[in-house]
Structure formats: structure tokens, C-alpha cells
Chain A
Amino acid sequence: MSAPVIRYIDEPHPVTGVTNGKFGLWLFLASEVMLFGALFSSYILLRVGAKSWPDGWERLNVPLATANTVVLITSSVTMVMAWVGCKLNDLGKFRFYMGITVALSFVFLVIKTIEYKPKFEHYQVYFYDGATIPGYEELTTITGHLEEDDFEKDYIVFAPDKKQPSQTLPDAEGHGDHDHAEGDHDDHGHGHYADPIQINRYDIKRLTNFGPAHSNFYAIYFTMTGLHGLHVIGGIVVNLYFLLFGAGMFRSNIAQFSNRIECAGLYWHFVDLVWIFLFPSIYLL
């Protein structure tokens, strides 16, 4: 008995009344609250200070996000059921519910990918004052699909969306050059595009996809949902470990193992909790 022993991993510490692992996990979650809190705070600051702000439900895919809400809530309840499986000393039950939890986490990521992808494939081009684009003379910006962007040529080939952003007058809503593109999601089938046109590069003030660099709105959207997505990946790694390699400890030390599952659960519920606030504040408000 010479190796150092970490104490209070399967019995409560007399001072805190909880195991060291659980206390440490809560301290970690406290720091996580501050991490996401800082981002929420920045979001409020940028949004309140902006002259105009796009409507999340027009820009983002609400049905997919709603589906992901259901997926995450369900995975939270299966996570807690996995812990119940440990408490009942029922390995089969633990494996069943933990398996569903991990599977649902992957479903969340797949839906997230489907949600992200069209935004990187959908483009917006802003013109210099005085540029006249045949067929789009009235517009200072158009959205659509970038068909060809060959740097050898002094033009790009662009298939505009049939439905163009309704242009706001420079002073009507404040920001003239900030478009109100509608539904940049789901519009990536070719049926949605008008015939491709050539646009001279010297007419182009800015060409951007709907990625994080597009505007503050997309920067916030990708930063916050992206960080949350990374947390989901973290949860998958931990839960997969317990699912695949944890069974040994289930048999040798069930008390410590259920504490581990409880801690993994606390983290997973926190990830759910963050989404509960992210979903309305970014997609719906």
C-alpha cells in the first residue's frame, strides 16, 4: 500500500458532504456557467448596440433546431436512466440507456451538420455604388449560389436566388447595407436559383458566404452553437468511454462507478441546460 490514494471517491467527504468528484464537477460547471455567460453577455451587448438585427427564425432553420431540442432533452432523460441502472445494479439497463444517450448525441451532431452546411454554400455579394448588374439594377446586394470563382478571370459566375432579400431603405431601418435575406437555409436546390449571371470583380464590394464572417449575427450564431457542439462532442467521448470500457468497474466497484455516471450526467444535463437557453435566444427571439 504505497501508491497515493485519492480519497472520498466513493464516500462523501466529511466537510462537503459529497464525493470529491462531484464537488469538483460542480466547480467545473460553475466555470462553464461563466464561459457561456460571457458569450451571452457579449451577445446582448452586440445586439442591443446594433442598428438592426436579423430575425433568427428567418435566417436559421427552426425546425431542425426544434428537433435537436427534443433530441437533447430525450438524451438527458436517458442519461439519468443510465444512472438509475447503476443504482439498481443492472448492467443491461445501464448499457441500454447509455447506448441511447450516446446515439442521440450523434443524432444531434448530424442534425447540426445538416443545419450548418447550407450556410457555407450560400453566398451574398455586395456591390459598389453605381454598379449596375443587368436584371438586378435596383439592388445593392444579392444572394445566391457561387457557381464559379476563378481568380484568373475578372468576373465571377453567380446564380442569384429567385427570392432576393427585400431591400431596406438606408434610413428606414438604419442599416442600408445590411440585408434581410430570407431563408438562407433549405434554399440550396437548383430550382431556387435564377439563371447564372456574370458579375465583374470591380463591381464587387464584398463577397461572403453565410459563415461566421458574414456579420455579427452569424459570428454569434456559429460561436455559441459551435462551442455548445464541442461540448456535445466532449460528452460523447466521456459517455462512450463509460459505455465501452466502464463495465469492469461496474462489477468491481459499483458505488464508485455510479458516482462517475452521476458526474458524467451532471455535465450532460448542463449541456442540455445551455441549449435550453441558446435555442430561444438565438433562433426564436
Chain B
Amino acid sequence: MTELERHDYDVVVIGAGGAGLRAAIEARQQGKRVAVVCKSLFGKAHTVMAEGGIAASMGNVNSDDNWQVHFRDTMRGGKFLNNWRMAELHAKEAPDRVWELETYGALFDRTKDGKISQRNFGGHEYPRLAHVGDRTGLELIRSLQQKIVSLQQEDKRETGDYESRLKVFAECTVTELLRDGDRIAGAFGYWRESGRFVLFGAPAVVLATGGIGKSFKVTSNSWEYTGDGHALALRAGASLINMEFVQFHPTGMVWPPSVKGILVTESVRGDGGVLRNSDGKRFMFDYIPDVFKDKYADNEDEADRWYTDQGNNRRPPELLPRDEVARAINSEVKAGRGSPHGGVFLDVSSRLPAEEIIRRLPSMHHQFKELADVDITKEPMEVGPTCHYVMGGVEVEPDTAASSVAGLFACGEVAGGMHGSNRLGGNSLSDLLVFGRRAGTGASEYVDGLGDKKPVIAESDVDAASRRAVAEFDGGEAGAQENPYTVHTQLQQTMNDLVGIIRRGGEVEQALVALEELKQRARNIVVEGHRQFNPGWHLALDLRNMLLVSECVAKAALLRTESRGGHTREDHPAMDADWRKQLLVCVLNAAGDGVDVTSKDQIPLRPDLMGLFEYTELAKYFTPGELADVPAKES
């Protein structure tokens, strides 16, 4: 066997985006030795792509805001499918997590009285998003990165070594989690640069690997988003929930083809941008669903007044939750009222002065100018839905981020539950911080509780993991060899066409047949060249994860015969209160080559949290049985 590099840590964090870095900071501050393992360079994680802001009810712009309002908005956005305890912790703790970033050196945009400025966003009742122009994700990642460096500087002063307690293993991919019996014992991976294997012995592993968007053709996600953590968790015996809920962001670029899917921030709409079809009509007024009718303006005058007077006017429908806006755009394009390149028009040029657009939306201005020759201060953008976020993920215990496997934790996009069937914009960055920190604490406490009973890695497991990692170099069945790029492209096309924004039972069934075929073909993938920085090999390994995760999405999407949030079934267009009570749970099947999906009941919403809503609103989502004990007071 080839040489193997070995390391021992208390906690290994997989992923170096917002959640992973926050988890690592916490575990290190709790006195643990921590490794962060990430596929890209340090500071390049997908979190940098987040634009709009971090949602936290600090009340800096509107003092009526508080955690209860944020909680309500989050539950509404997720159509009440959310894990309410996660939504509660998130709403309560987000302000502290944002303020903490300032102690790391973050520089948010300010209000006139010197506090952190907050902007409007879809589904949020008050201006709530702390932001830095439209590059908030970069600020978040850089602040956390610099905090890691500052902890390393402390360790250098004490021990003489920057990396004595906290080390980043950049451009290193984890391919397997290793267990001792039912407990996590470590992780196995390879250096992307050299192809050499590396083994981490660790009683606790925190998954913070982000999402799955690279299984879809049109996506705002980067190459890293191949569902690694989702798949690692499944293979380690953990369960995933809510995998049928995939968020299509309403506004991705549609032209030129090479940039199709790149995100256009929701801040454009939050700051006054409007959506128009080819007739020049602000079509969103036609798409306000019944459950939101009392919260959104039904005419342009009221919608426009809201920007300056939120107390006396309802919100513009452009700021409906993302699932609603994405479906509306999809319908307009299908009805033949789309823009020349198959999107709709998003116009901010007629709404704000040019210098204000450049000040508030500098990267959008830059992105359109450089990539599409469009000056957004003078003309509208063309936009359309793009696969952006997966609400589903590892089923976790809300307070500790622990999965059902001892020693395995998950936070951020790879964890499921928090956002229910649809995530509100701005709730991701806050999710990363709140649950990143909780995962760091959860993992540390778990390690403390082990005492001397540390898990041990079996050498036979290491051998098996090494063999699996290089299998693709040996070539598949003669005559049936496959190129990983081709299989990947077909997977993306399949998911896009058959399990995309609008789903139909028959098509999802076709997708499942296609996925089985692709799984067969993937076994015959052959990789050329050698192990040193070989993208073909890297893709072949990532593809296993994408195929497994895509199967979860398709199987759950077929079972859920209703439409809710990021899951729209054309053949079952209504929301069904009986389905709200149920979660679809994915686990690895007995053969280990696919997934089984079963249904389980939600934990009933805690009465005091239920009491935060009017009965009439609850009645839109809950079954009469669930509301039997709720006083039916009139609103």
C-alpha cells in the first residue's frame, strides 16, 4: 500500500465555509485540538458567494424587530415544515453571532448612529440583514479566517507553533468516515495536490460541507457542492431529512450561456428592483398565494410606498419567499412572456440613481458589466431560476448538532430541518454561525464525555478506503469504459429536466431509472493520468456522492405528493396539512448501493411557539387535530 500520512485530533471539521470555520473556532476555544479539512484553498469556500446579508433581529433599523418576529418569518418561509427548535435557537442567537463577528474585525455597513445597518429581504418583515454592500459572504469568510489566524497566533506565542492546536488541511478531500463499532473514529482522505492519502484519527467529526447543487445543470453553486457531507453521513449510518426540498433561487443570470446560473442577489429586489415580463408588466402581483395575501401589496402604488413607510403599507410581492418568486418567473417564461434569452427582466435602473446602485450593489454592477456587457444602472438584467440551496440534510439534534451516529455532527447547509421546505434569504449565513458554534460545542462536549474510551480505527477499514479511492484508475469493464465528465453532464441534465423546479410523478420515475443507469455506468469510469492534482479523478470520486444524493432527492420527491416550498409537484399542486406533519427520512439501503426513504412524524410545535401565531394563520398549515388545543381567537 502507498504511504499514509496520519494525524490525531480531538475534532475534525470537514469544510471551511462559514459553518466549518465557526465550528472549528468554537472547538478550539473549548480547548480541543482541531483540524479543518477542505477541498479548496483556505478562504475560498462557497460562503464567499453569499451576497445579500446575514439575518439577525438586532432591530438597528426598525426597533420593532425581535427574535419572535424572525422566528415567525422563518417558519412562514419554510411553510411550517421547519424544525421549530432549530428555528427558535437560530432566531434567538443570530444577533450575538453577528456582533461577535465585529470582535473578529468584521466591518459591516453602518446606520447613521453607527450601528450595523440592516436591509430588507424576501420574507423578512423588517429590515434585518446585516451586510457589506453585496459581498457579505466574503466579509463573513474573511472575518472567520482571520479569527482562525488570530487563534493560531495565540498558540504560536504559547507553544512556538502556529498549528499546534488548530490546523487547516487545505485542498484535501475526505472520501470516507471511519467507525469503531457504531461510533465515529476518524476520516480518510487524499491531498488533491499530490494524491497521497491522509488519515485523521478523531472521536468527533463535524460535517460542514455545504450543498448538492453540482448535481444540477443550472446552478449558482461551485464545483465543491457535490453533496460530500450528505453522502458521507449516509454511508456512516446517519439519516437525511427533507431531501426533496431544493431551492431554486429566482434570479440567476441567464445569458451568456457560460454564466447561466450565476447568482443575482436578492438585494436587488430588497433595494427596490422590480421584475417585469416582456409586456413590461410587474407580474408578481398576479402570483401572491392565499397564505400571504394579507402581508403583500396588491398594487404598485402601495408596494412602492412600502420602501419608505413600512408601518402603513404591505410589502411588494417581489419580496415574497424565493420559492414563490421562482415559480412565478418559471410560469411567465412558459407562457411566452419571457425575455429574449429565456428569463424575465429585473430592473433596478429605473428605480435608483446610478451612483446609489453602484454603492449598494457593486459586485452586481461589476458582474454584469464584465460578463454580460450589461450596465445595470442603465438597463434591466435578464434573470431566471437557478439551483441554489438544499434545505434537506443530515438529521440533527437541534441543540448540539449531533447526528444519529455517535461522534458525527453536522451544521450549515449539510444539516437539515432548520429551513423547513424553503429557506429565506439571509437565513443561511446566520444558520452557519449559530449552528457552527453549536456543533463546535456539541463535538467538544462529546469528546469530554468519552474519557478514556476513545474509538480506534481498524487497519482493515483504512485498507478498504484506500482501495475504493483508487478503483477508478484500474479501469472498468472492457468496452464499457466511461469518462467522468460525460457521466456528470448527464446526471446534471437528468436532475435539471426531471427533478427540477417543477416536478411530475412520471418524470421523477424516469429520473430514478436514469439514475440507476448512471450508477451502473459510474462503476465503469476510468481515470487517465496519475494522482497528482488530477481533476478527472477528483470528479470521479465526487460523482459517487452526487449520485447517492440525487437518488435521495428523486426518491423523496416522488413520495411527497403535495407542493410545498422547494418541492413543487405539478400533479399534486396543493399544500397538504397531513404532509406538514411528516418528514421523509433517507438512509443507506442494506446493500449499501442506494437509499431507502421512509416517513416519520414531526415533533409537534411547542405550545408557546404556537402561541406566537394567530389561529387563522395556523389553520392554513396545520390539521384541525393539531390545533385542537389552540384557542381559536379571532385576529
The answer to whether A and B interact is no
Could you tell me which B residues sit within 8 Å of A by CB distance?
none
